[in-house]
Amino acid sequence: MSRWRMLVTGATVAALAVTGTALVSAPAHASICSAVGFHGGDVGSTGSSGSSDIGLGSMDFGSYRADGKKPQGPLVKLRGASTAIQWVTGPRSPNRTDRRFSITSTDVGVPWDNGSGQVLMAFGDTWGKCAGQMVWRHNTMLRSNGAANLDKGITFPNAIPGSIRSGASVTPQHPTFAQPMLNAIAVRNTEVGKIPTGGISINGVQFMSYMSIHKWAGPGRWVTNYSAIAVSRDNGQTWATDNSTIRANLELTVPGVSQIAQGHGRFQMGAFLRSGGYIYQYGTPNGRFGAAFISRVRPAGILNLNSYEYYRGGGAWSPRPVDAAPIVRQPVSEMSVAYNNYLGKYVMLTENAGSIMLRTSPTPVGPWSGAKVIVPAAQTQGLYAPYIHPRSTGQNLYFVASRWDDYNVMLIKTDLAKVR
């Protein structure tokens, strides 16, 4: 497909989303398990960090083929500053998410404090059994115990239909099938998925950033249609995209349409940080090879793109996303940022070539230090998507990361006193 044709397709999807057309949010096909519509089955793959083009006709059924990857292996034993504490998901997890939530394989696991004693975790492409077959979801969410001792792992209460405080959003018909948060068109070269990238709670309302995937490319490379923020007012039980927050991945500005502006391509993946009266949103382009940028907004304006300011360097901010300057040079992957009171600095986690990297800064915008390896790729191949746990503040830095071969999420602890 030519670059021009790809842009036109992406523009079409973004335009549909901006206008609220149902095609983006709710495919016409029904599903016996999913309350939000069609979600696929064990029929094909496009490889969320690979390059496979398997599928069925024009439909796209996910980025993980249940019989195409290794079974979940034992928890890795790390050496040095970091220790793997538990598998958070999968058959080898103490949580047994395969039986309790129909989550046999998944990734990402973005965690955030819901403001009322729980830590919500949003996952990407997810496989699990329902109605006697292996089925796939674009994404799903679990609610964890916010007071858990992280040295003993992350725990999830059982799912209860209709309960917005239970472990997952489930239906009475399928009480062990964690429901998808958002559906996607599921048509190849149009929209093959919606993947969460960040989350934050403001006054009891949950806000989750996500990216709409146009197509998967080579390892670590993909093309997005747009990024956006979905909102839940019932603790993650149901979600809806706020179309005014869409950032179309087009180097194009349409006057009067804030969703289509040059520079939005720099914010296709987003991580949230609350600090000093602002919500900071860190951004990277699609894939794992771009630089990192930063915007900020007052909490009340999080759904208004016209309220955002973009850091242009030298202490200056601009209302134009195209003015955003890199705060960390490429390559930068999925990221998370939090303040750490042991270091007295802000901490950023990213991944590079399978190694988990740590940077520090005295302020949210920088200057950011050089990257230090806290989990070397040589110790466990295929780690990606490191997200700092919101209860992590002291000498031990707790975060989750996904491992590709197992296609599941683990919890890792790093002793910051040992990081050199």
- pLDDT for 71: 86
Sheet arrangement for strand 383-388: 82-87, 408-415, 396-403, 383-388
List 216's β-bridge partners, or say none: 222
Strands 82-87 and 290-297, sheet pairing? unpaired
* pLDDT value of residue 357: 97
Q: Are 139 and 133 in contact (CB under 8 A)?
A: no
Q: Is the pLDDT of residue 59 over 50?
A: no
- pLDDT tier, 188 (very low <50, low <70, confident <90, very high otherwise): confident
Per DSSP, what are the bridge partners of residue 222? Answer: 216
pLDDT tens, residue by residue, 132-175: 888 889 999 999 999 999 999 999 999 999 999 999 999 999 99
**146-150: long-range contacts at Cβ-Cβ below 8 A with a sequence spacing of 24 or more?**
146/113, 146/114, 146/117, 146/118, 146/119, 146/391, 147/117, 150/85, 150/389, 150/391, 150/392, 150/396, 150/398, 150/411, 150/413
Mean pLDDT of 279-302: 97
Instruction: Please list, in sequence order, all residues whose beta carbon lies within 8 angstroms of the beta carbon of residue 398, skipping any fewer than 6 positions away.
Output: 85, 150, 388, 389, 391, 392, 411, 412, 413
User: pLDDT of 228-269, one tens digit each?
Assistant: 999 999 999 999 999 999 999 999 999 999 999 999 999 999
Query: Which helix (H) or strand (E) is 176 found in, with range?
Result: none
What is the C-alpha separation between 27 and 40, in angstroms, rounded? 11
Q: For 344-365, how does the pLDDT look when each residue is reduced to its tens digit (9 = 90+)?
A: 999 999 999 999 999 999 999 9
Q: Is the pTM of this model over 0.85?
A: yes
What pLDDT score does 100 carry? 98
Write the CB contacts of 114 (distance below 8 Å, at least 6 apart in sequence).
120, 143, 146, 201, 206, 235, 236
In single-letter form, the type of residue at position 344 comes to G
Of 393, 284, 368, nearest to 333 (Cα)?
284
Give pLDDT tens digits for 191-227: 999 999 999 999 999 999 999 999 998 888 999 999 9
Note the pLDDT of residue 187.
Answer: 86
pLDDT digits (tens, 9 = 90+) for 307-343: 999 999 999 999 999 999 999 999 999 999 999 999 9
How many Cβ atoms are within 10 Å of 30's Cβ, its own excluded? Answer: 9
Q: What's the CA angle centered on 189, arms 184 and 192, to 5 degrees? A: 25
Q: Under CATH, what is the fold of the domain 3-418?
A: Tachylectin-2; Chain A (2.115.10)
Question: How is the chain split into domains, by residue range?
Answer: 3-418
Q: Which pLDDT does position 35 carry in this prediction?
A: 78
Please answer whether residues 83 and 413 qualify as being in contact, where contact means their C-beta atoms are separated by less than 8 angstroms: yes
Instruction: Sort residue 62 into left (φ over 0), alpha (ψ -120 to 50) or beta.
Output: left
Cα distance between residue 42 and residue 396, in whole Å: 39
Segment among 178-182, 219-223, 273-277, 296-300 with least mean pLDDT = 219-223
d(CA 122, CA 139): 7
Q: What is the mean pLDDT of residues 372-398?
A: 96
Q: Is there a cis peptide before residue 367, judged by omega within 30 degrees of 0?
A: yes
pLDDT at 2: 39
